[in-house]
Amino acid sequence: MSSTGAQLTTLEAFLQGYPTIEYIPPSSSEYPAARKPWNEARLDNPLAVVKPRSPADVAAIVKHAKLNSLPFTIRSGGHNLEGRCVAQDALLIDLRALTAVTIAPDRKTATVQGGILQGELASKLWEHGLATPTGAVPTVGYVGWAMYGGYGPFSPHWGLGVDQIVGATIVDPNGDIVKADEALLEGIRGAGGLFGVIIDLTVKVYPLTSLLAGPIIFNPTDITKTYVDFNAAYEKLLNSEGLPRSSAGANIEEGKRWSEKIASLAPLMVNMVGSTTIPDWFIANGALIPPKIAGNGFSHNVRRIPPSVAEAIGRNLAIMPADRGAMVSIHQLRGPSAGPQDHPSVFATREPHYMLELLGFSTSGDEDVSRQWAIQTTDEIQQADPDNVLPTAYISVYNSAIQAKSTSEALEKTYGPKAQVLKDLKASFDPDSVFSLTVPALK
């Protein structure tokens, strides 16, 4: 019998004792869908897929894996850009049944289970008049988003996802369910997947009952000029009156005035900003994201977007492949997370910056074209103003396989001076590397 055949037989014998764990072997008709991450270019076939229903199920699976030297990966939303929640012949532990949310009596924190998606979490909080920072795409896993950084539209007001984390429960490398101490929390804030299965995170939540949001679409006829002009006007606005931390928490009338001001920065097609709810806003955003996609994402953190960088971005917007998978997305780190924090973290890039997502994906099988376009855009931004590119990049979007020459270079690039903290924590907490197929990778 092959070694994977033997592993499967041992796994099936173990699962006899755990009927609550859903089991999807390669022979199942559900396997092709269950193995697929968001990035379909990842073709790895896992040994099997298991779906635990409780923290105790997760603990039992990790104990079994450790005892049998069985490599495994963890999946929640499946939106790692490189599809790294799946690995060839490794057991795939799909956490998506773990979605409980418990709001603390003082309504300042909520304990959120590790398999919940961002849209699900936002809906549950909204029912209670609460919110917490998230990104904009409902199907991204919340814990995967928050623990590696977590940029999003609420971050200028409340901070990054990583800065909301005040507690965590994990299944550790021995398969025990433990509360994270302060040392481990520092590592979880920035690199959580390295140390265990995050069963839950306790995160800050905030009262919120109204939301003003929506797209502002500028005239794309001469998209290079539109983008360059918009960027110049936006920089001027930042340098003159500045922006409010965000419209969250402010009144709707003030928010409308700001949306009109932003809409006036370049030739406008339509301003669709209006009153909505977070659940409806997520539904609208979700409709824009292709369900099937393949390719590669790339990233730079840049201090500013000076005219030379805006021209490099604008030039490449004009030749962007006509494919829903090709995108440029720009997040600005400003507000409470841009600077020193009360809670230590291994998240490296604290100075104010723009995190650029240069997405070379395709929905139609043309991923080579999209990838080449994204690589060219990434290179031209670097060449336009090399000193403006920060030494550290964002782990969730940086392409560790293409942008770095080795795993250790990728680790230095994404964690900078915090890389050593991570290595030390890993050596003391998981010396046998039970969690080996992780984000970030150490080997």
Ligand X SMILES: Cc1cc2nc3c(=O)[nH]c(=O)nc-3n(C[C@H](O)[C@H](O)[C@H](O)COP(=O)(O)OP(=O)(O)OC[C@H]3O[C@@H](n4cnc5c(N)ncnc54)[C@H](O)[C@@H]3O)c2cc1C
What CA–CA distance (Å, rounded) separates 360 from 324? 10
Instruction: Answer yes or no whether residue 396 interacts with ligand X by CB under 6 A.
Output: yes
Which has the closest alpha carbon to 346: 418, 408, 442?
Answer: 418
Contact 82, 44 (CB under 8 A): no
Instruction: Answer yes or no whether residue 335 interacts with ligand X by CB under 6 A.
Output: no
Smallest distance from ligand X to CB 41, Å:
12
Which has the closest alpha carbon to 258: 226, 294, 213?
Answer: 213
Smallest distance from ligand X to CB 112, Å:
10
Largest alpha-carbon pair distance within the chain? Answer: 71
Comparison of 36 and 256: residue with beta carbon closer to ligand X:
36
| ∠ CA 199-112-159, rounded to 5° | 115
Comparison of 40 and 380: residue with beta carbon closer to ligand X:
40
Contact 77, 144 (CB under 8 A): yes
Per-position x/- string for 150-189, each x denoting binding to ligand X as judged by CB under 6 A, each - no binding: xxx-------------------------------------
Site for ligand X in 275-294 (CB under 6 A): 289
- Cβ atoms < 10 Å from Cβ of 75: 25
Among 46, 144, 255, 335, binds ligand X (CB under 6 A): 144
Per-position x/- string for 60-79, each x denoting binding to ligand X as judged by CB under 6 A, each - no binding: -------------xxxxxxx
What CA–CA distance (Å, rounded) separates 185 from 11? 32
Contact 156, 332 (CB under 8 A): yes
Name the segment binding ligand X (CB under 6 A); options: 18-26, 143-151, 238-246, 365-373.
143-151
Alpha helices in 206-306 (DSSP H): 223-239, 252-263, 278-286
The full length of the chain comes to 443
Helices 182-191 and 419-429: angle between axes, nearest 10 degrees: 120
Smallest distance from ligand X to CB 145, Å:
4
Comparison of 374 and 384: residue with beta carbon closer to ligand X:
374
Among 59, 65, 85, 162, binds ligand X (CB under 6 A): 85
- Cβ atoms < 10 Å from Cβ of 1: 8
Instruction: Answer yes or no whether residue 347 interacts with ligand X by CB under 6 A.
Output: no
Comparison of 143 and 228: residue with beta carbon closer to ligand X:
143
Comparison of 305 and 333: residue with beta carbon closer to ligand X:
333
Name the segment binding ligand X (CB under 6 A); options: 130-138, 318-326, 344-352, 363-371.
130-138
- Cβ atoms < 10 Å from Cβ of 348: 24
- Amino acid identity of residue 186, one-letter, is E
What CA–CA distance (Å, rounded) separates 290 from 424? 39
Instruction: Answer yes or no whether residue 135 interacts with ligand X by CB under 6 A.
Output: yes
Name the segment binding ligand X (CB under 6 A); options: 11-19, 193-201, 204-212, 232-240.
193-201
Site for ligand X in 18-37 (CB under 6 A): 37
Instruction: Answer yes or no whether residue 119 interacts with ligand X by CB under 6 A.
Output: no
Comparison of 228 and 422: residue with beta carbon closer to ligand X:
422
Smallest distance from ligand X to CB 297, Å:
8
Instruction: Answer yes or no whether residue 197 interacts with ligand X by CB under 6 A.
Output: yes
Comparison of 187 and 321: residue with beta carbon closer to ligand X:
187
Among 46, 119, 133, 149, binds ligand X (CB under 6 A): 149
- Cβ atoms < 10 Å from Cβ of 322: 8
Instruction: Answer yes or no whether residue 84 interacts with ligand X by CB under 6 A.
Output: yes
Among 70, 143, 265, 356, binds ligand X (CB under 6 A): 143
Cα distances (Å, whole numbers) of residue 365 to 218, 293, 315: 29, 8, 24
Instruction: Answer yes or no whether residue 80 interacts with ligand X by CB under 6 A.
Output: yes
Contact 295, 362 (CB under 8 A): yes
Alpha helices in 2-54 (DSSP H): 3-15, 31-34
Contact 196, 66 (CB under 8 A): no
Smallest distance from ligand X to CB 180, Å:
12
On the question of a cis peptide bond just before residue 244, with omega within 30 degrees of 0, the verdict is no
Binding site for ligand X (CB under 6 A): 37-38, 73-81, 84-85, 95, 114, 135-137, 140-141, 143-145, 148-152, 192-193, 197-198, 289, 396, 438-439
